[in-house]
Amino acid sequence: MLVCSKKILQIADKHGYAVGAFNTSNLEFTKAIIDAASELNAPVIIQTSEKAIRYAGLKEIATIIQTIAKQSKIPVSLHLDHGKSINMVRDCIKNGYTSIMLDASDLPFQQNIVMTKQAVKLAHPRVSVEAELGILAGVEDHVKGEKTIYTDPEQARKFVKLTKVDSLAIAIGTSHGAYKFKGKPKLDFKRLKEINEHVKIPLVLHGASSIPKQLVAQANRFGAKIKNAHGVPDSEIRKAVKLGIRKVNEDTDLRLAFTAAIRKYLKTKKSDFDHRSILQAATELIKKTVISRIKILGSANKA
């Protein structure tokens, strides 16, 4: 069933777990995500970036997700990830998105408030709104940050009060993309705890991919050259969830699974040129990856 993120995240906040928000841009990713969540009886958020929308087409990708979501028994939210303009927010709402993110985090604080309030006015009450305060380092799709600008707890309190957003993405030391850290990640859990005390809405963690070593190893074994890619350990994610994170964005791990599966299939089954078989192998590994992430977030059997 198709629902808004606000409903999913409020329940998660009440019971102390996080919901996975998985990025998609095609049929295979979408089926893998919803099949995984259905198997674990878990609520799930499926999100598309602006780049994914340009790749697949807004109506096309929205229709794929909505069709599969409406056939499932679990709660599924269709979410715009890192929407950078009011026009994009408006277009997604018109095409049946149940949740949007207006990301004006690169603007000065007051401008971020003004733009976010515009998005809230467009979306409420039917569509939930996520905003971002602070900036993550790293690159993913069109989102780029030179360095982390940590979220200020008092600014977060003021921002939420003035904008009336439903959830808030914060910067506590994670990073977008695969090339996150030169050493171990240093998440600012003290800051997270303070923000959670100041803000009474669900908190969101971007840039939280784990970069599983086995996926990197498989991709490299069959021709990839992925080096120096580091993610956030599962233990750090679990701790963040205990301290108030209720939505965790997942993209890079799914891309790695797709790449690893495709490379292995093409290398080991050179006579097969049926694209359906090739993509099915990728779908299965993406599904396994989503299942693993849902278990870590604690949302299995919470639908």
> Where are the domains positioned within the chain?
5-297
**Local structure of residue 40 (DSSP, 8 states):** T
pLDDT above 90: percentage of residues in the chain: 84
Q: Spell out the residues 6+ positions from residue 183 whose beta carbon is closer than 8 angstroms to its own.
A: 230
Q: What is the pLDDT of residue 215?
A: 93
Catalytic residue among 13, 35, 81, 251: 81
What CA–CA distance (Å, rounded) separates 101 from 79? 7
Q: What is the pLDDT of residue 183?
A: 57
- Residue 175 to residues 144, 180, 189, 207, Cα–Cα distance (Å): 10, 5, 15, 5
Q: What is the pLDDT of residue 138?
A: 45
Amino acid letter, 1: M
Amino acid letter, 7: K
What CA–CA distance (Å, rounded) separates 71 from 230? 37
Q: What is the pLDDT of residue 174?
A: 83
| pLDDT one-digit tens code per residue, 121-155 | 999 999 999 999 997 754 454 544 345 689 999 99
Sheet of 175-176: strand order equals: 143-145, 137-140, 175-176
128-152 in b/e form (b: 16+ CB < 10 A) is bbbbbbbbbbbebbebebeebebbb
Domain 5-297 falls under CATH 3.20.20.70: yes
Q: Which segments in the chain show pLDDT lower than 70? A: 137-148, 176-185
Is residue 81 annotated as part of the catalytic site, yes or no?
yes
